[in-house]
Amino acid sequence: MSDGETRGPREDVDDFVREAAERIGYRFRDPELLRDALTHSSLSAGRSACASERMEFLGDAVVSLALSAVLYELHPDWTEGQLSLGRSGCVRTQALARKARALGLDAALRLGRGEEKTEGRRKPSILAAAYESAIGAVFLDGGYSAACAAVRRHFEPELAGRVDAEIDFKTRLQERTQQQLGTVPTYRLLESSGPDHARHFVVAVEIAGNVAAAGTGSSKRRAEQDAAARALDTYDWPSAPSG
């Protein structure tokens, strides 16, 4: 091991790879892929392209696609806006970092001394990248089906638990508009039609006096929720201030 290198709980490479793979739930044909995936760029001085960063690039796309497929299957009644919002909640840095910790990848990371001293194992950005890199390694070793299966195992229990629970998009939208725009959204009924047993409602949500999105549903409340979900997904939100 080089002077600048630190490892997880095992010095033996075989133990290191095997334990990390067991946590992920995939048996690698080429274990060195996972070793590279969990080697932080702080150990890659002088290399033009860090292997873990390249795998992170792949993993980011695979995780997003796999989550999209699982959400599509588990929630057949969700709109595009709801599916997109559900996915974005899973791929945020904090969410991926929690998944990395749950799989024990924080202990398996190989970091340079500088990152070790600054508690790099606890940094959400490093942990999220480690999860994506690990999935990228699974993709390279076993293809998309293997990587998708791993992502599904990691996320499906929490996603499936929300099948019957209504996400309160109206509350989320109100909190966001208050925080970022200093205002609150308003809702306007555009259309109601159909017989009593099959009503159809169309509702517009307005932000700062402008229509942000329109939603539909079998009740006015459901149409408002749908409109709020679409607004969260498509509204041109101001960029967060730097620093």
Residues with catalytic function? 60, 132
Strands lying side by side in the sheet with 200-207? 186-193, 200-207, 210-217
213 alpha-carbon distance from chain centroid: 24
How many CB atoms sit inside 10 A of residue 33's CB? 23
Q: Do residues 85 and 162 touch, judged by C-beta distance below 8 A? A: no
**212: which 2 tokens?**
């942000």
As beta bridge partners, residue 112 has 5
**What is residue 2's DSSP assignment?**
-
CA dihedral 42, 43, 44, 50 (to 10 degrees): -70
